[in-house]
Amino acid sequence: MDKPSNTADDILAAARSFIVAGGYNGFSYADIAEVVGIRKASIHHHFPSKVDLVQTLVRRYLEDAVTGMTELERNVPESPRLLRTYAGFWAQCIEDASRPICVCALLASELPALPPEVAVEVRAYFQFLSGWLTGVIERGAAQGTLTIAAAPRVEAEAFMATVHGAMISARAYGDVLTFGMILASTLQKLIPAPD
Amino acid sequence: MDKPSNTADDILAAARSFIVAGGYNGFSYADIAEVVGIRKASIHHHFPSKVDLVQTLVRRYLEDAVTGMTELERNVPESPRLLRTYAGFWAQCIEDASRPICVCALLASELPALPPEVAVEVRAYFQFLSGWLTGVIERGAAQGTLTIAAAPRVEAEAFMATVHGAMISARAYGDVLTFGMILASTLQKLIPAPD
DNA sequence: CTCAATCTACCTACTAGTTGGTAGGCAGTT
DNA sequence: AACTGCCTACCAACTAGTAGGTAGATTGAG
């Protein structure tokens, strides 16, 4: 039942860290082979082409997001805390440098140069995330736990854009605290009663 | 006094459109040679290396931003209109597909994979833009034409992040109106008196 | 004014190294 | 016997960059 040491997963993990650093064209099979400790040709055994590899990666990334958000929603029902937890998750990822930027935000920025099979998965991620945030904000507004000025969908898109932009700024400044600073003020505008 | 047909400028323009599409590793000298209509080796005559080319490109991009913002500030002194014009400029660029994303926002997202000479120029752009926005917001707040909840610098960073994130979202959705929608609601929160 | 030296902008032809991908073999497991 | 997971040894195409040459414009000295 527990996972056997899985080379395919190691390849995906290596690919993710390379993509996060430099995008789709920022790594090669040779790079992955070196960090995983197998030969270049062996990667093709697990993922016939680079497109297969990245497509699988992004698809799994979305799946993880879906299950993660669903579970989060069960444990933390209140909208303000939900948004705070989501922002806090990324703040933590950036601070400990484990995941300094969202894979899909990065890939979306170079979308026109992406193989279409990958592009469609990236779009699906954006649609899911914006849909999830819209739901959270809609419920928060209905319950009076969030103060919104525009339609929930617009607030959700603006929130998502701020999160992604803040990731990029954090990277540009090389300062891990920039992200948290931007998000604290953004959340403050949505959450009425500061304790 | 008027500009002679300049191959170097053509190369820079081609490089910019390639970078905007797929980042630093998303194009080659061969790609540029083809659209400019010269041979690959001739590019090296104008820009000895790829680093030289992109460094020049980003440096000029920043220079243009500096002169553009300075001139904008002289013509449009009021902070709310200044922010609206800045947002409107990008909304227009995205709608007519002439510049669907900021070169530096894209390059910043893949910063760890960039040659250091380019990375330093990208950082300089972010520092200038955030500084400019901080000044605009600071003055607007002092004059009462902008309503801010946090320090001007924090508001400026949040605004810049939202703009960059909205560019990425517009790209992900393939919808030119997403950017304008996000920015209209963001501006509305900063600008008190809607006419 | 003129003629040679230099400079500019491009060319062809090449290099060494990298790219994603293929063919086929081999040891261990089922 | 078939499958899995890896290997060595390839491949053609592409990468940034170099070497060396040429045609034409610009310059400067006699």
Q: Which nucleotide is nearest to B43 (CA to C1')?
A: C10
In a domain, B176, yes or no: yes
Q: Is residue B102 part of a domain?
A: yes
Residue B59 located in a structural domain: yes
Residue in chain A lying closest to B20 (CA): A110
User: Looking at residue A1, what is its pLDDT?
Assistant: 35
Domain that holds residue B55: 50-190
Which among A23, A112, A160 has CB closest to B165?
A: A160
Q: What distance in Å separates the CA atoms of residue A27 and residue A17, rounded to the nearest whole number?
A: 10
> Which portions of chain A are predicted below pLDDT 70?
1-5, 193-195
Measured distance CA(A89)–CA(A105) in Å, rounded: 16
**Could you please report the per-residue DSSP string of A67-113?**
HHHHHHHHH--SHHHHHHHHHHHHHHHHHTTSS-S-HHHHHHHTGGG
User: How many whole angstroms separate alpha carbon B84 and alpha carbon B62?
Assistant: 20
Is residue A143, in this structure, part of any structural domain at all? yes
CATH number of the CATH domain containing B70 = 1.10.357.10
How many Å lie between the alpha carbon of A110 and the closest alpha carbon of chain B? 5
Number of domain units in chain A: 1
For the packed helices B152-173 and B116-143, what is the interaxial angle rounded to 10 degrees?
A: 120
**Whether B10 CB is under 7 Å from strand C:** no
Chain A environment of B129 (Cβ under 8 Å)? none
**With an 8 Å Cβ cutoff, are A155 and B113 in contact?**
no
Nucleotides of C under 7 A from a protein CB: 9-14, 18-24
SS3 B102: coil
Question: Which residues, in sequence order, are CB contacts of B168 under 8 Å at separation 6+?
Answer: A105, A108, A109, A161, A164, A165, B101, B105
- pLDDT given at position A5: 54
Q: Among residues A154, A181, A152, A155, which one has the least CA distance to residue A166?
A: A181
3-state SS assignment for residue B39: coil
Residues 37-76 of chain A: which lie with beta carbon within 7 Å of strand D? 37-42, 45-46
Which positions on chain D have an atom < 7 Å from some protein CB? 5-10, 14-20
Q: Which residues of A touch B134 (CB under 8 A)?
A: none
B31 lies in some domain: no
- Residues of chain B with pLDDT > 90: what percent? 94
Q: Rounded mean pLDDT of B117-135?
A: 98
pLDDT tens, position by position, B48-93: 999 999 999 999 999 999 999 999 999 998 999 999 999 999 999 9
Residue B21 is assigned to a structural domain of this protein: no
Average pLDDT, chain B: 95
Asked casually if ipTM beats, i.e. exceeds, 0.85, the reply is yes
Distance CA A63, CA A51 (A): 18
- Of B113, B150, B165, nearest to A22 by CB-CB distance is B113
Query: Are B113 and A174 an interchain contact pair (Cβ–Cβ within 8 Å)?
Result: no
Could you give the CA distance from residue B118 to residue B105 in angstroms, rounded to a whole number? 13
Chains A and B form CB pairs within 8 A to the count of: 167
Q: How far is CA A96 from the centre of its chain?
A: 16
Q: What integer pLDDT is reported at residue B3 of this predicted model?
A: 41
The answer to whether strand D lies under 7 Å from the CB of residue B40 is yes
Residue B186 CA to residue B162 CA, distance in Å, equals 8
Residue B55 forms part of a structural domain: yes
Task: State how far the Cα of A84 lies from the Cα of A188, in Å rounded to an integer.
Answer: 10
- Quick check: B125 pLDDT over 80? yes
